[in-house]
Amino acid sequence: MKTTTMFLKVSQNLAFYLFFVFAFLFSMLSFSQNVEDIFPTRVTTNSTVTMTGTGFTTAIRNSIAVAGVNITNRVLIGTTQMTFEVSDSNTSDKINRAISMTGVTFDTGVDTTLDYIAPSQRTLSDTRSYFVEEIYTTWDQNDDGNHFWRSNDWNASPTNNATWPDDKHELLGFKMYNGPIFTTGLMSETDFRANLPASETDDAGEFYVSRYKAYSTNGVQGRTNGSHFILTGDLIDEGLIGSSENATNNNLTSLTEIAGTTIFDVIVDGRNGLELGTGISNFNRDINVQFFSGNGQPGTFGDVFPDLLITQVAQAGGNDIYFYADLRGNIVGTPIRLSIGEISSTRLAEWQLDLFSFPGNQPFVSTNPNRRGFTNNVNQHRPIRMIAFKLEDFDINDTLGSTGYIGAINNVNLVAGGTADMAFLAYNAAAFDIKAPLSDPLLSKFICKVDGTSDVTFNVSAGVDDGFGGITAPSTPEEDISYEWLKYNIPAPPSNTSPTFTVSGVMASDLATYKV
């Protein structure tokens, strides 16, 4: 009995000891402070760096530092994630700078150094190689059915504003400074040449058939503010600019072509997204804007074609930083800091427009404008400018493994803190093979009877861009296509995600412009 009692005591002590050890180890694991990943580590001005790990605290967040690099906006998202922003605006690179924090252990393999890549300064003037000196669009200036307008036909006198675009018009082509003309793929070569003097297109080195498409994005989690306005050609809202509207700064209940529009809509509208008659002001004032730009094509580096088209369709000012990045956000090549001043010689034309404001602090992706931006908007006009960069301007190359390798590019970025007023941001379709949905034109249908019994059915044929302007069927789950039907710009009931849409029992209230 005595022996048994001693055995039990020993067992109890051992159990207590084991419990204490396990509890201690659990406590240590629960409160371990490890950094498991840091990305990106090749950054530029206003880049945001993310850290993931365990046990992060306010004290650890406050201790984040990078040797010789200015950082700010340290944010503790939770115990497993922190971020900080690179505020450095140095004009030279800072390579291999150590990242430090107090009270943490870096996991094996974590890159604990930062490379700051200084943006290369570019200032727009009418003698720069990246200056677009003339554009050609589909604006029908004389209402004669000839949808071909040259910005060189623009007359700067405000009293002769019949030459100032005031409606939707898509980019057909552009001419570089002292250089060649490039088409965008929206008009046949024959028709394009027919609208220009032979002297401008008869030399093979002066004219190039090419294809350009607008970047699209739905990943920006920005919120509206007082500097955001949707910009639209004066006639896009059906010319409803009566004096009573201006006096009351009215809401948009009657402006059906505007009411359902979002910030994203105006940078991707038109064929291949190249619509110049709509845009957004101060797009990147508070947020980094990212566009998918994968599938870069080796062999396109160093050719004659510009690869990035930048539009500026309102008052210029400030600096915008553009850069290409890989999947983790690391800079590929060298960023460009673009300065566009109010220099009259870089202005291609003025256009007549209306401005529509937003309710404040609302999500970009879903918020519609709520009113006109200015009480007196009858005489609003803004300049049009365009810039065209090549891959080599960003130090992009074909060298596998280099910091500028085109195959590493996943996205193109527009950094926060700028004043970009864009109609679109476009790319050379030969340089980046980006799949996008395309459809055959949706044919117009006209109502003859509004009797409550007649039906109208719309059908659309859509597929995936085959890279040559044609349409092919989706070949992977990622290429599956969904559909949303709109009455004007507002989702049309009943909800329908198929390529066929029927308006049943047509009544007067059903008369509208339908889109898909």
The predicted-structure confidence for 121-179, as pLDDT tens digits, reads as follows 999 999 999 999 999 999 999 889 999 999 999 999 887 889 999 999 999 999 999 88
pTM, rounded to two decimals: 0.85
CA 409, CA 274: separation in Å to the nearest integer?
23
In sequence order, which ranges of 114-220 are alpha helices (DSSP H)?
Answer: 189-194, 198-201
β-strands 171-176, 371-372 pairing: unpaired
pLDDT at 434: 83
Confidence of residue 376 (pLDDT cuts 50, 70, 90): low
Confidence of residue 231 (pLDDT cuts 50, 70, 90): very high
In sequence order, which ranges of 111-265 are alpha helices (DSSP H)?
Answer: 189-194, 198-201, 243-248, 256-259
Strand partners, 94: 116
Q: Indicate the fold that domain 437-515 takes in CATH.
A: Immunoglobulin-like (2.60.40)
DSSP state of 69: B
**CB neighbour list of residue 94: distance below 8 Å, 6 or more residues apart:** 68, 69, 88, 114, 115, 116, 118
Q: Is the pLDDT of residue 3 over 50?
A: no
| C-beta neighbour count of 444 within 10 angstroms | 8
Q: Is the pLDDT of residue 29 over 50?
A: no
CA 356, CA 373: separation in Å to the nearest integer?
5
Strand partners, 106: 35
Contact 110, 38 (CB under 8 A): yes
Domain ranges of the chain: 34-118, 123-428, 437-515
CATH architecture of 34-118: Sandwich (2.60)
pLDDT at 445: 73
Percentage of residues in the chain with pLDDT exceeding 70? 87
CA 55, CA 375: separation in Å to the nearest integer?
53
> Would 34-118 and 437-515 be classified into the same CATH topology?
yes
Burial of 30 (C-beta count, 10 Å sphere; 0-12/13-18/19+): exposed
Contact 432, 293 (CB under 8 A): yes
| pLDDT tens digits, one per residue of 279-325 | 999 998 888 888 988 888 887 878 899 999 999 999 888 789 999 99
Confidence of residue 21 (pLDDT cuts 50, 70, 90): very low
Phi, psi of 6 (to 5 degrees): -65, -40
In sequence order, which ranges of 175-314 are alpha helices (DSSP H)?
Answer: 189-194, 198-201, 243-248, 256-259
